[in-house]
């Protein structure tokens, strides 16, 4: 594929990883991202340079080496830090009690091995965006272009992509690193059966509120990484991460950063989160500030038969000019799985060259 241009659509962690893998073997890559900010759902804010606030993922399972390997390749492995607190609690509606290892994952609906959980979680010193910033810095200048892709039509030499603003971009092949509802829209004109199949993956919303307090405002001694709410407690706060206990460097000395996960769409998120945490953690006074992150379609949910359906999709796409799909909707929702999926997609497109 030397000298041929490959488009990567979507600049989340999957798209940026795929772009880097293609660039490394001498391919001319163009990453097309509809938003101003690359990173997709991976977003870190650093208010005043003294806090680290995550709007998407806050960490990855240390037992999965994929993201750490990428960090090493990018020269940012020394920025990896492990969790500094262990264990979590369970809010039953009246009190906080200890939560057994594995019970947390079960309450959240994840299937995670106990041994994986015992290995703990890792993150980056100044947040998950560290890896996005390193990826963007490693790409050649001009690789990342702000454009939403609205359609892809096969041509004699690859694809003609229609982008927002009315431009057309000709490429030899493409890696689609989009949420699958967006990928389906893009591929509808190419293969309606593929588009239909991709829509089988639905996405759950996520609403989190990060709240900053002075340490003395919190009346309950905070222990572990946070708490999960038992379903029978029927609380609007489904879980809360004690962000500044879980990882170092999340809040300045003498302060606490909490991140509450709320049931979707229940009133004014900031005041609801503060009111419930006030009651559960015996907080006095108002938060210093709060930051709300809404993701209407955040976490993909795979139905039974997902892997088989995706294999059929990939088989059908093999009939077209080089094209590969990757990201959270395809091969696992975690950030490490996205990196693995992206590397495989880059490889798949290259193998067609």
Q: Give contact residues for ligand FAD (rule: CB under 6 A).
A: 9-15, 32-35, 40-42, 56-60, 148-149, 177-179, 182, 206, 295, 298-299, 327-328, 333-335, 338
Q: How far is the CB of 271 from ligand FAD (least distance, A)?
A: 20
Q: What distance in Å separates the CA atoms of residue 287 and residue 50, rounded to the nearest whole number?
A: 16
Q: Looking at beta carbons only, is 57 or 321 nearer to ligand FAD?
A: 57
- Give CA–CA dist 343/353, Å, rounded: 16
Residue 22 phi/psi, 5° resolution? Answer: -70, -45
127/179 with CB nearer ligand FAD = 179
Nearer to ligand FAD, 322 or 329 (CB): 329
Closest separation in Å from C-beta 148 to ligand FAD: 4
If you search the block for the tokens 């229609």, which residue do you land on?
A: 162
- CA distances 60 to 66, 181, 241, 349, Å, are 10, 25, 14, 27
| Token pair in block for residue 293 | 């992150």
Q: Cβ of 75: how many Cβ atoms within 10 Å?
A: 11
Q: Shortest approach of ligand FAD to residue 151 CB, angstroms?
A: 9
* Least distance between ligand FAD and beta carbon 133 (Å): 15
Q: What are the CA-CA distances from residue 291 to residues 22, 27, 266 (Å)?
A: 36, 40, 16
- Least CB distance from residue 196 to ligand FAD, whole Å? 18
- Candidates 202, 203, 199, 273; CA nearest to 236 is 273
Whichever of 206 and 244 has its CB closer to ligand FAD, that residue is 206
- In angstroms, give the least distance from the CB of 299 to ligand FAD: 6
Residue 213 backbone phi and psi in degrees, to 5: -135, 160
d(CA 342, CA 256): 36
- Tell the smallest beta-carbon distance from residue 94 to ligand FAD (Å): 28
1 or 67: CB nearest ligand FAD: 67
Instruction: Name beta bridge partners: 166.
Output: none
Nearer CB in complex with ligand FAD: 17/197: 17
Name the burial class of residue 68, with classes exposed (0-12), middle (13-18) and buried (19+) by CB atoms within 10 angstroms of its CB.
middle
Q: Pick the closer one to ligand FAD by CB: 149 or 283.
A: 149
């Amino acid at each position: 594929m030397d000298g041929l241009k490959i488009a990567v659509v979507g600049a989340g962690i999957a798209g940026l990883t795929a772009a880097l893998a293609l660039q490394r073997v001498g391919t001319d890559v163009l990453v097309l991202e509809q938003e101003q900010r690359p990173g997709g759902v991976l977003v870190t804010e650093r208010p005043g340079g003294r806090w680290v606030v995550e709007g998407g993922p806050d960490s990855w399972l240390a037992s999965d080496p994929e993201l750490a390997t990428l960090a090493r390749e990018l020269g940012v492995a020394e920025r990896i830090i492990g969790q500094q607190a262990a264990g979590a609690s369970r809010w039953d509606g009246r009190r906080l009690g200890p939560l057994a290892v594995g019970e947390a994952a079960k309450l959240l609906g994840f299937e995670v091995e106990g041994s994986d959980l015992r290995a703990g979680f890792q993150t980056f010193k100044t947040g998950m965006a560290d890896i996005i910033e390193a990826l963007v810095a490693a790409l050649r200048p001009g690789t990342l272009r702000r454009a939403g892709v609205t359609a892809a039509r096969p041509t004699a030499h690859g694809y003609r992509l229609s982008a927002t603003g009315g431009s057309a971009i000709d490429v030899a092949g493409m890696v689609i690193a989009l949420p699958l509802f967006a990928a389906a829209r893009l591929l509808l004109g190419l293969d309606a059966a593929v588009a239909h199949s991709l829509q089988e993956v639905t996405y759950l919303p996520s609403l989190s509120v990060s709240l900053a307090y002075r340490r003395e405002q919190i009346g309950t001694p905070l222990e572990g990484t946070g708490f999960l709410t038992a379903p029978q407690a029927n609380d609007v706060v489904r879980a809360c991460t004690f962000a500044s206990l879980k990882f170092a460097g999340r809040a300045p000395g003498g302060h606490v950063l909490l991140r509450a996960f709320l049931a979707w769409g229940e009133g004014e998120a900031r005041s609801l989160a503060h009111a419930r945490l006030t009651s559960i953690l015996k907080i006095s006074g108002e938060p210093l500030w709060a930051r709300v992150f809404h993701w209407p379609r955040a976490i993909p949910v795979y139905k039974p038969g997902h892997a088989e359906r995706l294999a059929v999709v990939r088989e059908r796409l093999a009939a077209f000019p080089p094209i590969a799909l990757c990201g959270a909707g395809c091969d696992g929702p975690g950030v490490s799985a996205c990196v693995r999926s992206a590397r495989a997609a880059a490889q798949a497109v290259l193998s067609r060259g």
